[in-house]
Amino acid sequence: MLPLNEDQIRTLTSAIDRIVPADDYPSASDLGCADFLLVLIASEGLSETYRAGLDGLNLESQKLGQKFSDLTPEAQDSILSLCEKRRVAAGWAVSPRKFFTLLARQTVEGYYADSGNGGNRGEVSWRMVGFEVRG
């Protein structure tokens, strides 16, 4: 069973694509970081934190009348930024800052660690930074 519902997965995918956005190189979800996180959330017992945090992001986006995943990238960034700076209103079941920090840290882990962990498909991020694996 997945640790998150469909809505939460949609929110997760949008959020991680702001943590590592697409440029000449793929975004976090393009390289499999959502799948990486789903496995990690289950194995590390983080379902409750992630559910609460992703619901919290939607709570904030409702103030703009939309689901988080339907917002523009700029609007998504400003919500994430408010979480980082502890400037979101009360009503979250988890500390917004704590959730944001975890999300950012673990997305970066997925994107830049080995592809065996499920993110960094095709070792694309390693090609991007210039880390080659031989032997």
Partner 1 sequence: MKVDAIVVGSGAGGGIAACILAEAGKSVLLLERGRNLAHSDVPRDHLRNHRLAQYGHGTGPELDGNPRLLNGRRYRPNEGGYNNNASAVGGGTLVYGMQAWRFHPLDFRMASTYGIPEGSSLADWPISYEDLAPYYERAEWEIGVAGEEPAPQMPLRKKYPMPGVPRSKKAKTLELGCQKLGWTSQVTPLLLNSVPRGGREACTQCQHCVGFGCPPDAKNGTHNTVIPRALATGRCTLMAETFVKRLIKSKGGRVTGVVTVDNEGIETRHEAEVVVLAGGAIETARLMLNSKVGGDAVGRNLQGHYYAVAAGYMPEPIYDGLGPGVSISTLEFNHGNEGVIGGGMMSDDFITMPIMFAKSFRPSSVPMWGQAHKDWMKKYSRFMQVGGPIHEIPSSECRVGVSGSVRDKYGVPVASLSGTTHPETVKTTKFMFQRAKQWLEASGAEDILIREPGLHLSAGQHQAGTCRMGVDPRDSVVDLRCRVHGHDNLFVADSSVHVTNGGFNPVLTIMALAFRTGDGIVGAW
Q: What tokens appear for 33 in the block?
A: 């970081």
Q: Does 128 bind partner 1 (CB under 8 A)?
A: yes
Angle at 23 (CA atoms; ends 60, 39), nearest 5 degrees:
60
Q: Is the distance from CB of 59 to CB of 92 less than 8 angstroms?
A: yes
Q: Does 124 bind partner 1 (CB under 8 A)?
A: no
Which CB atom, from 9 or from 113, has the smaller least distance to partner 1?
113
Instruction: Out of 7, 13, 25, 82, point to the residue binding partner 1 (CB under 8 A).
Output: 25
Q: Is the distance from CB of 116 to CB of 39 less than 8 angstroms?
A: no
Report in angstroms how near the CB of residue 59 gets to partner 1 at its nearest: 20
Q: Does 45 bind partner 1 (CB under 8 A)?
A: no
Exposure string over 6-26, b if 16+ CB within 10 A, otherwise e: eebbbbbbbbbbbbbeeeeeb
Contacting positions for partner 1 (CB under 8 A): 18-21, 23, 25, 40, 43-44, 77, 80, 84, 101, 104-105, 107-109, 112-114, 116-117, 125-126, 128-135
